[in-house]
Amino acid sequence: MQKLELLAPAKNIELGKAAIDHGADAVYIGAKRFGAREAAANSIGDIEKLVKYAHRYYAKVYITENTVLYENELEQARQLAVDAYNIGCDALIIQDMALLEMDLPPLPLFASTQANNQTTEHVKFLEKAGFDRVILARELSLKQIAEIAENTNIELEFFVHGSLCVSYSGQCYLSCALTERSANRGCCAQPCRSTYDLIDKNGKIIVKNKHLLSLKDLDLSAHLEDLINAGISSFKIEGRLKDASYVKNVVAYYRKRLDDFLNTNSDYKKASSGATTLMFEPNIDLSFSRGFTNYFIDGKRKKTASLDTAKSVGEEIGKIKHVAQNYFVVETEKTLQNGDGICFFDKYEILCGTRINSVVGEKIFPLSMKNLQEETKIFRSYNQLFGKAMKQKTAFRKIEATINFTTDNEKIVLYATDEDENSVTFEILQIGDIAQNAELAVKNIIKNLSKADSIFSFKVNICSSQIQFYQTSAINEWRRKIAELLLVEREKNYHQKESKINKNDILLNKRKLDYTANIANSLSSQFYKRHGVQEIQMAFEIDNSGENKILMFNKYCIRHELGLCKHGQNEDLFLLNNKQRLRISFDCKICEMRIIKCD
């Protein structure tokens, strides 16, 4: 059966464990350096603890080593790969091809979405170069994904939820150009979330002070089956900077959606072990989002920008139907609570927010009544009850196992087998007396052997006709011992996948690479030369000289978003922010745009 993997973000070890508890089959996490989220760094020691925890459930841990590497960092990057292998990590997610030129341990390599994985030709090359998995560009449609899957034999991973970069991943140099903080080095300043004026070549303002490059968040939960049929086997949630509430809620939500599919499709199975029991009902509307889009998954263009704010607005509640001096009434079927946070757009389309002090019947008394008007649409930006619940224990994950209880004249034998067919035996010398009430004795044995105080959910089979009476404390000790033995056996039988790079000279079919190939060191240059490239331009971070360099490559189009798209009319437009002027060039043949810094 084909395995389907739910892949979750881990800012740190605690959030990594939370993701696994709530149903993730794998997590991705950054080490101290070289991860594309500089603010989500972790020690190798902490990652090792997470690896041990994950492997109990046969879940996997991937380390992100997906930044552009400088020459003086190559040995440190190599050592991180060695450390990752030594602690049992399951793969490295990388962008820089220098790693394929190094003498690395046999650790699987995944091609990060930063490697600009858009085409069948490129994915074929990465497969032949030695990668085990390719993380596809978010901009692809189901049709494009299916074409790649049909023409390759490599694992394919795809983002299904979370924040969207407006540029193709790995192809954005705007932050580096404006602030010297490189997105390809893990420290993006996110200029795409700023406000801009849109002006024409004559200086006429078309749109003023809008978040013209800030996209809504991705939600493909309704397209999981489509993605499976197209060839995706790993479903990735974005969010290595998100909090525990987000990780718990979103992972649990997607776990339920994937399980719904698995329960009716016997050709597939989950990629890890154990079943998650939730103590809450997951709802992605209650976690951070700028509103949702399915982006280009169906091949259609639609409204994808969050023009009025780059912040999370939360779930829509309803419209205000009455405003009094110190309270308002909203038309809604939802219940607001004391302590909830609400937000709304005022008459100038500026996002405003306040807190609810109290709710009396249908009357809502906020901390501030400023700018509240009838017909204003209200959103709940913070759900006090949900937030409080998320701070508690919200899930537990158990591995199914069976204990066969057998006795003879001399000993008791406990034989335990888990859902992955790991098995152990534990023997005890007979220490009981013949039970006067055999039925009660059997119930006592089953009750205490099946207590849920380990990662196992034990089903107990009594395989003896002569039942003796045993002290409850003794049975509890037997259960703890058999669980301990079975866990040790599980850990012993977990096999870290090994994959060795066999260098070859497969041609890239490109003789020249410019700065968008993100080559910043000699080993990366060596890799591409080995694959037939003759002329190499260094990465933007190394050499940003030259005029009119494209700083952002976008499938998203401002003209289309604003309803300004006219056939054959593709004159440049301009973005203006704090005297910083950016030129927008449109390629209407492929329906894409480019952003270029103006001198």
Whether residue 260 is found in the same domain as residue 111? yes
Whether residue 355 is found in the same domain as residue 429? no
Domain boundary, last residue among 440, 464, 487: 487
* Structure-block tokens of residue 77: 């990057």
CB of 8 closer than 8 Å to CB of 271? no
Is the pLDDT at 547 greater than 90? The verdict is no
Closest to 145 (Cα-Cα) out of 230, 229, 79: 230
Tally the domains of the chain: 3
In a domain, 460, yes or no: yes
Residue whose entry in the numeric block shows the structure tokens 């909830």: 340
Length of the chain measured in residues: 599
Whether residue 402 is found in the same domain as residue 469? yes
Whether residue 453 is found in the same domain as residue 405? yes
Domain boundary, last residue among 435, 454, 487: 487
For residue 362, what is the domain's CATH number? 2.40.10.170
Mean pLDDT of the chain: 95
Whether residue 434 is found in the same domain as residue 320? no
pLDDT tens digit string along 388-438?
999 999 999 999 999 999 988 789 999 999 999 999 999 998 777 777 888
pLDDT tens digit string along 459-474?
999 998 778 888 899 9
To 10 degrees, what angle do helices 120-129 and 142-150 make?
A: 40
Is the pLDDT at 570 greater than 80? The verdict is no
Q: What is the pTM of this model?
A: 0.96
Is the pLDDT at 567 greater than 70? The verdict is no
In a domain, 102, yes or no: yes
Angle, CA of 405, 411 and 416, to the nearest 5°: 30
pLDDT tens digit string along 180-226?
999 999 999 999 999 999 999 999 999 999 999 999 999 999 999 99
In a domain, 88, yes or no: yes
Whether residue 386 is found in the same domain as residue 262? no
Separation CA 160–CA 113 (nearest Å): 13
Whether residue 37 is found in the same domain as residue 99? yes
Whether residue 128 is found in the same domain as residue 257? yes
SS3 of 270-305: the string is ECCCCEEEECCCCCHHHCCCCCEECCCCCCCCCCCE
Mean pLDDT of 153-177: 97
In a domain, 112, yes or no: yes
Domain boundary, last residue among 346, 374, 390: 390
Inter-CA distances, 584 with 211, 266, 303, 406, Å: 15, 49, 19, 76
How would DSSP label each residue in 399-452? EEEEEEEEE-SSEEEEEEEETT--EEEEEEE---EE-SSHHHHHHHHHHHHT--
Closest to 24 (Cα-Cα) out of 395, 540, 569: 395
Go through 30-40 and write b for each residue having 16 or more CB atoms within 10 A of its CB, e for each that does not.
bbeebbbbbeb
Angle, CA of 52, 58 and 62, to the nearest 5°: 65
To 10 degrees, what angle do helices 472-493 and 44-56 make?
A: 110
Is the pLDDT at 599 greater than 70? The verdict is no
CA 389 to chain centre: 22
In a domain, 73, yes or no: yes
Whether residue 120 is found in the same domain as residue 62? yes
Closest to 170 (Cα-Cα) out of 152, 184, 153: 184
Separation CA 567–CA 123 (nearest Å): 33
Separation CA 89–CA 30 (nearest Å): 12
Domain region containing 329: 313-390
CA 222 to chain centre: 16
Whether residue 386 is found in the same domain as residue 407? no
Residue whose entry in the numeric block shows the structure tokens 């899957």: 149
In a domain, 145, yes or no: yes
| 82 CB-contact burial (10 Å; exposed 0-12 / middle 13-18 / buried 19+) | middle
Whether residue 483 is found in the same domain as residue 361? no
Residue 126's identity, in one-letter code, is L
Inter-CA distances, 182 with 71, 387, 391, Å: 16, 34, 34
In a domain, 198, yes or no: no
In a domain, 16, yes or no: yes
pLDDT band at 324 (very low <50, low <70, confident <90, very high): very high
Separation CA 140–CA 227 (nearest Å): 11
Whether residue 278 is found in the same domain as residue 331? no
Separation CA 110–CA 123 (nearest Å): 11
For residue 244, what is the domain's CATH number? 3.20.20.70
